[in-house]
Structure 1
């Protein structure tokens, strides 16, 4: 039976928002702030009064330019020569980059972090952290090609080869790696990725699935240091990238954020080296979604826009996926106009979708998935921006809940939970409670911390209605279910 969004939650259209004043820059604060202030002065002197046309000229996102100017974002090394070329500075920014950011490398600071804080290098594997604890940032700088194997290999603490599946679950000792990559290793990587993908979507990333993801990724990372015949290398890199995406998704689902980020970055690096544009786009989509989830929508937006580089080489489904990620970032930032524009761009691309053009791993991105992804962006406006109409988010969540089949239990349960939260906040709390009980039934067998956190949010919304018995009962059931 289709779930209805009651008409009572329809309210006035949102009011207009005044533009934010431009931040005053202080070039004396730090070398990074001097670099950013100098960039803004030179940009405006060259006739670029606002950042968007300049960002288009140097082929990066507006977000990157603004954050570099504010001194809270490391300028990518390959951007500095473009700044000099467009602004005709005679090499000023290329020379300044070596002094400002090159020295930071020597001091051990991470690249591309959204602020001046220092963190350990991303190639270190650390214990996963629960949401909200520790620094969620990590380097996004690509190593030079000659360093790539070392960069990827040292991220693993053990070598675990899936000679048998059970040995990946409970290895007594690290099995030996082959002397050379053969088609056998490529097949094993792809088989494990396919199995993980199905199990993760149906059950979540916890338990044995999470252990297998970690062990398989460690083995794949170790393989990158092994010689591979040139004719086989593109297929090998594609297989490692595919496993990185799947393993990273499982680790992300249970908040092993460092491991997930490393797996996604391995996937992107392998895709870059092998010129696998579709895998590269998927990797940046995952990096975007993870950054948004852990509270860094600016970084999420940057990753989504990196994924859209050479969008002409991507399918319409992939472009829709990345625009939906942009929408989710803008939604977290409570930027109404940009969120709606990004949702519109995602809808436009999805309307051009030809499933036969998509790579196999994009088969999941159907109407249900697209509706759920864009609904999440609109949900943040509906519950966080006064006057924003929640009707469109509600309809899209309904489509997602109806459309997701048994193979995508987690997505179905999470969309149902969000729909319940939306109705609990903006509609009839009794109907929201009924939807919440449905969400609990759908997600009863999941081992997903993301799904659990969505339920906690629903419980907090239900607590706003202490005089509604249905809401109180739902809150108590959520509390009990999360304690078991």
Structure 2
């Protein structure tokens, strides 16, 4: 009896992503490795090595495999990513042979120990009139470094006519990339892969699209742009994230998709608040809540949290508490089976974490910390392994608040665990939160264990 194929781990590298995609499409077409090899004049053994990332797949082979499997060009795009990743690794080894490196920071993006950047201009530089939406969006993206990154590696041209399979591919890419982002953070291979997928998906907006597919296409591209924007946000590529979130909003509004519009405004609000402009964050959250009757309970709860976090940063205690109360009320009405698949992440752990983060800011300003501590503890204990980054954010906030509240011994255990978790992520935001813990812990530096924790934090966030 043949042994089952060895599981593949597409998160290890772009080459492993390519291998997993190759196996997926081969099995979807019900072909053995030998049968597929015969179609493209390669051995079955070489196909096996491609799938396990034991041999690099050349572009000419990927192009032939795309044609044989009718993938829409996904393997060709993955080859470009794998080659770019290998080049980056070679440069990193040449430049720093004795230490682990992270992707280089963007100029002006700030280091991992710095606070949020100064507020950006939140007025759109390019008008987004619906009648010339596609042209305006292309211009807006081209105005920044995002398109340069996306053009750095060649990608297969978008098909001239959009098919249902193309839309499904965008959806699948968004789902996979989002899970990677939640697990590992937005830098590294996650960001590189996301950019290539978005470039291809964006090209479909200029292809001929049958009328029945238009809503699905624009909705899928909106979802993908939101995912890529979130990865950029996490990697401190703030200008890219700002444009991508606006792009996601425009795609959603083009087809009157109110839930996706709400999701994009939620992220736009959070980014503005995080960057030190809570006034814009409040405005964006309230724009997302426009026609709240068209949103689900989870979507309303999510946006009330964004509003609460902006208000907390502005020091408006009572309004923050009112927004948290509205969020709690909406969340109490959530029926998971009635929510869209895109809101599946918004469970009890996420709700307690988001509301706990808003209360955290109030507690640092003098509000009683018990509510924040209770919600953050619930979030840490409830998050599954699939949301490692969210759990780390809440755990770091919990440790920081306990340090600030004069309970360093209780903070120490969570601080050590958060330190270990951050070292497994590629998230500059997680590094920043850890740096804040180190700064607050400074007041307890006479305690040997706290002093040791601070030294380890400094070493970690400086890498």
Matched, 1:154 2:139: yes
Residues 138 and 127 of structure 1: CA distance in aligned 2, closer, same or farther (over 3 Å): farther
Tell me the CA shift for residue 267 of structure 1. 1.1
In 2: Cα distance, 1:250 partner to 1:283 partner: 13
Q: Is the CA contact 1:425–1:461 (under 8 Å) kept in the aligned structure 2?
A: yes
Moved over 3 A (4+): 130-135, 155-158, 168-172
Q: Is the CA contact 1:430–1:468 (under 8 Å) kept in the aligned structure 2?
A: no
In 1: Cα distance, 2:258 partner to 2:127 partner: 16
The aligned residue for residue 217 of structure 2 is 236
For residues 86-125 of structure 1, give each alpha carbon's deviation from its aligned partner in whole angstroms, at most 9, with x where no partner exists. xxxxxxxxxxxxxxxxxxxxxxxxxxxxxxxxxxxxxxxx
The aligned residue for residue 123 of structure 2 is 139
The aligned residue for residue 421 of structure 2 is 442
In 1: Cα distance, 2:151 partner to 2:131 partner: 34
Matched, 1:280 2:264: no
Q: Is the CA contact 1:304–1:326 (under 8 Å) kept in the aligned structure 2?
A: yes
Q: Is the CA contact 2:141–2:243 (under 8 Å) kept in the aligned structure 1?
A: no
The aligned residue for residue 8 of structure 1 is none
In 2: Cα distance, 1:134 partner to 1:293 partner: 10
In 2: Cα distance, 1:134 partner to 1:423 partner: 28
How many residue pairs were aligned?
348
The aligned residue for residue 402 of structure 2 is 423
Q: Is the CA contact 2:157–2:200 (under 8 Å) kept in the aligned structure 1?
A: no
In 2: Cα distance, 1:407 partner to 1:256 partner: 24
The aligned residue for residue 297 of structure 2 is 316
The aligned residue for residue 184 of structure 1 is 165
Residues 194 and 458 of structure 1: CA distance in aligned 2, closer, same or farther (over 3 Å): same
**3-state SS of the aligned residue for 1:464?**
helix
Q: Is the CA contact 1:459–1:479 (under 8 Å) kept in the aligned structure 2?
A: yes
Tell me the CA shift for residue 182 of structure 1. 2.1
In 2: Cα distance, 1:128 partner to 1:147 partner: 32
Tell me the CA shift for residue 169 of structure 1. 10
For residues 289-328 of structure 1, give each alpha carbon's deviation from its aligned partner in whole angstroms, at most 9, with x where no partner exists. 1111111111111111111111111111111100011110
The aligned residue for residue 395 of structure 1 is 374
Residues 179 and 127 of structure 1: CA distance in aligned 2, closer, same or farther (over 3 Å): farther
Residues 290 and 391 of structure 1: CA distance in aligned 2, closer, same or farther (over 3 Å): same
Tell me the CA shift for residue 443 of structure 1. 2.5
Tell me the CA shift for residue 382 of structure 1. 0.4
* Among 86, 109, 113, the residue aligned to 1:129: 109
Residues 322 and 209 of structure 1: CA distance in aligned 2, closer, same or farther (over 3 Å): same
In 1: Cα distance, 2:232 partner to 2:386 partner: 19
In 2: Cα distance, 1:300 partner to 1:149 partner: 26
* Among 205, 214, 219, the residue aligned to 2:195: 214
Q: Is the CA contact 2:225–2:244 (under 8 Å) kept in the aligned structure 1?
A: yes
Query: Comparing 172-181 with 362-371, which one deviates more in the overlay?
Result: 172-181
The aligned residue for residue 459 of structure 1 is 438
Q: Is the CA contact 1:156–1:221 (under 8 Å) kept in the aligned structure 2?
A: no
Residues 265 and 324 of structure 1: CA distance in aligned 2, closer, same or farther (over 3 Å): same
Q: Is the CA contact 1:127–1:256 (under 8 Å) kept in the aligned structure 2?
A: no
Q: Is the CA contact 1:169–1:212 (under 8 Å) kept in the aligned structure 2?
A: no
In 1: Cα distance, 2:188 partner to 2:388 partner: 17
Tell me the CA shift for residue 196 of structure 1. 0.3
Q: Is the CA contact 1:152–1:224 (under 8 Å) kept in the aligned structure 2?
A: no
In 2: Cα distance, 1:264 partner to 1:465 partner: 40
State the Cα RMSD in Å: 2.1
Tell me the CA shift for residue 142 of structure 1. 5.8
In 1: Cα distance, 2:348 partner to 2:184 partner: 21
Q: Is the CA contact 1:128–1:255 (under 8 Å) kept in the aligned structure 2?
A: no
Tell me the CA shift for residue 357 of structure 1. 1.4
Structure (1 or 2) with the greater helix fraction: 2
Q: Is the CA contact 1:127–1:258 (under 8 Å) kept in the aligned structure 2?
A: no
Residues 325 and 433 of structure 1: CA distance in aligned 2, closer, same or farther (over 3 Å): same
* Among 183, 195, 201, the residue aligned to 1:202: 183
TM-score when normalising by structure 2:
0.72
Tell me the CA shift for residue 480 of structure 1. 1.4
**3-state SS of the aligned residue for 1:334?**
coil
Tell me the CA shift for residue 174 of structure 1. 3.4
* Among 319, 325, 332, the residue aligned to 2:306: 325
Tell me the CA shift for residue 127 of structure 1. 7.2
